[in-house]
Structure 1
């Protein structure tokens, strides 16, 4: 069976690694020329995503991944702050959490190594369809045509494959623009390091302005203490943050110092204090980038709205998910593991290919709806603060919550 995967992101590479390791004839076409050319956000993999990866990659790859990951169980509980830096409360204890955090670049590199020569970089697909015999085929930018038994679109929220199958876009903008960046803990003042601590935090303020600050330390908080296996691009305590605003094009054309200064100016116009903005002010300007939040429908029946056949898709191509749940990459890995499992049944001649794809897509619809529902709760919360009522409630309630929390701590 010849399988073509379009897109060398996390889901596509995870699928190809599993297929290659089990003797399938697979190729990945990826338009990037460098697997490290990817966003700076870190990825959270829960226990289900890790179990899926273990189905797809050899044990030595899993060990390298764990040696390059930060364990949530070694972090303090997450914190919720107001826009002046006042503590509002904490999330649940993480001592029993199986989840890990890893740099997106690190995970993509490890998976690319597992795929090996079956990953073809700098190969842009311009069209997809079927040949005269009904088999899937793709055309690349160089004019070459490639045919296969199964075509899998793992080409992200703007998927060419999913658009072909659905007859149009499979997701839409949610009305939020995000800006991500990285700040080494050592670059912050001692007081701010103490306030943020070894944990992630979230600020939601009036006018739809929000700031997520994630903590990543794959050295001090490594899941597996094996320095000789470490492949992480983060080499010390680091805050990987995401600033969010209602959609506006004012800052999207900027970069570097200009973008950082523009972000700070916008937060200050909204009345934010300097304390919670220090993580942005002292960020590596070269790490800051803008991206639009897109989302598919939260209803399972709306996802993958096409009859099962020899062309399918997975991950953000089907269930594009805002990063507000931290589950998008993990869901793509789980998609890959499910499709891999079904294709092994086809190889064993237990089921037909279209049956395998149908079962995979049915499972993916449920999973996609689950993570989208979680992610959109936070999106709707952020957008609600940009209404007249939402802004008033947020402004009035936050100081009260901060005072109550302070009194509780004194007791």
Structure 2
């Protein structure tokens, strides 16, 4: 069976690695010319995503990943703050959490090495179609079509493959604009290092202004103590933050800015909304080269509305089907689980137990359930942030924050 994967993000590379390892003929096409040309931020892989990854790559690659990842169980409990930086509460104890955080660049590099020569970089796909024999094929503007027995779209929220299958977009803007960056913990003041601590946290203020601060330390909090295997691009305790504002003409205009100009504009937006200066230090002291803007996209949270096409020899996975805002930290993990599930079903085809169409049908049924689950979790936070962007929501946020902060102080006396 010849499989062509469109898109070399996490899901596409994971599938390509698994197919190659199982002896399938596979080619992964991606428009990037360098696998490190991606956001230098981090992704979370829970126990289910890690289990799926073990089905797709060699044990040695899993070991390199663990040596380059930061263990959630070694972090302090997550925190919730208000716009003044006052503590409102904590998340659950992470002592038994098997989840890991890893740089996106690190994971993408590891997966690309597993795909090897079957990864074709610098090859943007222009579309998909069918040959005279009805077999699917992938189209390019600068070369001949490539035929396949199965085409899999792993080309993200703006997927050409999913649009071809559905006849329309499979997601829409979620109503929030995101801005992200990286800040070394050592670059913060001692007081702010103590407040933020070795943990992740979220602060939400009135009028839809929110700031997520994620903690990543793949050296001090390494899952596997094997320095000789470590390849993380993050080499010290780092806060990887994400600022969020409701979409508007003003926030949309920020997408045209880059680097220090975008950084300054973000700080101005938060200050206009009454955020304390020290709570913005993580943005002010970020590496300007790391600051970027992006729009949140989301598919339907209803499983029955995901992958709305008949099963056949063209399918899709990951954000191409269930585009998920990063507010639950589960999008990449869901794509890896999709890849492992599709590989399992295709194994039944090579065993002669089912046809390709049957395998794809069963895969898509499971993917709809996975997608609905992660989307529902991610959209809870999106809706909470958007709810503060109303007169009532802004007033409620302003009034309740000091009450919650006072209660938190009493609990910690």
Same fold per superposition (TM over 0.5): yes
Q: 1:143: how far off?
A: 3.0
Q: Deviations over 1:271-314 (max 9, x none)?
A: 00011100000000000110000000000000000000000000
Q: Deviations over 1:363-397 (max 9, x none)?
A: 00000000000000000000000011100000000
- Paired position in structure 1 for 2:346: 343
Q: 1:138: how far off?
A: 1.2
In the superposition, the TM-score normalised over structure 1's length comes to 0.99
What's the secondary structure of 2:13's corresponding residue? Answer: helix
Q: For the Cα contact (< 8 Å) 1:70–1:222, is it kept in 2?
A: yes
- Paired position in structure 2 for 1:50: 50
Q: Deviations over 1:88-135 (max 9, x none)?
A: 010000000000000001000000001000000000111111111110
- Paired position in structure 2 for 1:406: 409
Query: 1:78-117 alignment to 2 at 5 Å?
Result: 78-117=78-117
What's the secondary structure of 1:236's corresponding residue? Answer: coil
What's the secondary structure of 1:277's corresponding residue? Answer: helix
Q: Does 1:23 align with 2:26?
A: no
Query: 1:193-272 alignment to 2 at 5 Å?
Result: 193-247=193-247, 248-272=251-275
Q: For the Cα contact (< 8 Å) 1:123–1:141, is it kept in 2?
A: no
Q: Please give the alpha-carbon distance, in whole angstroms, between the structure 2 residues aligned to 1:196 and 1:346.
A: 51
More deviation in 53-62 or 34-43?
34-43
Q: 1:15: how far off?
A: 0.4
Q: CA RMSD in A?
A: 0.6
Q: Deviations over 1:133-187 (max 9, x none)?
A: 1100111121321100000000000000000000010000011000010000010
Q: 1:41: how far off?
A: 2.3
Q: Does 1:41 align with 2:41?
A: yes
User: Which of 371, 375, 379 is the aligned partner of 2:374?
Assistant: 371
Q: Please give the alpha-carbon distance, in whole angstroms, between the structure 1 residues aligned to 2:64 and 2:154.
A: 24
Q: 1:262: how far off?
A: 0.4
- Paired position in structure 2 for 1:178: 178
What's the secondary structure of 2:173's corresponding residue? Answer: strand
What's the secondary structure of 1:54's corresponding residue? Answer: helix
Q: Please give the alpha-carbon distance, in whole angstroms, between the structure 2 residues aligned to 1:314 and 1:105.
A: 20
Query: 1:377-392 alignment to 2 at 5 Å?
Result: 377-392=380-395
- Paired position in structure 1 for 2:365: 362
What's the secondary structure of 1:223's corresponding residue? Answer: coil
User: Which of 332, 336, 353 is the aligned partner of 2:335?
Assistant: 332
In the superposition, the TM-score normalised over structure 2's length comes to 0.99
- Paired position in structure 1 for 2:318: 315
Query: 1:129-140 alignment to 2 at 5 Å?
Result: 129-140=129-140
Q: Please give the alpha-carbon distance, in whole angstroms, between the structure 2 residues aligned to 1:102 and 1:141.
A: 35
Q: Please give the alpha-carbon distance, in whole angstroms, between the structure 2 residues aligned to 1:20 and 1:55.
A: 12
Query: 1:143-154 alignment to 2 at 5 Å?
Result: 143-154=143-154
Q: Deviating runs (4+, > 3 A) in structure 1?
A: none
- Paired position in structure 2 for 1:60: 60
Q: 1:231: how far off?
A: 0.8
Q: 1:194: how far off?
A: 0.7
Q: Please give the alpha-carbon distance, in whole angstroms, between the structure 1 residues aligned to 2:143 and 2:238.
A: 44
Q: Please give the alpha-carbon distance, in whole angstroms, between the structure 2 residues aligned to 1:195 and 1:372.
A: 31
Q: Please give the alpha-carbon distance, in whole angstroms, between the structure 1 residues aligned to 2:252 and 2:336.
A: 32
Q: 1:250: how far off?
A: 2.4
- Paired position in structure 2 for 1:13: 13
Q: Please give the alpha-carbon distance, in whole angstroms, between the structure 2 residues aligned to 1:96 and 1:244.
A: 30
Q: 1:407: how far off?
A: 1.6
More deviation in 401-410 or 182-191?
401-410
Q: For the Cα contact (< 8 Å) 1:40–1:180, is it kept in 2?
A: no
What's the secondary structure of 1:251's corresponding residue? Answer: helix
Q: Please give the alpha-carbon distance, in whole angstroms, between the structure 2 residues aligned to 1:127 and 1:391.
A: 45
- Name structure 1 gaps, 5 residues minimum: none
Q: For the Cα contact (< 8 Å) 1:203–1:212, is it kept in 2?
A: yes
More deviation in 4-13 or 243-252?
243-252
Q: Please give the alpha-carbon distance, in whole angstroms, between the structure 2 residues aligned to 1:269 and 1:253.
A: 20
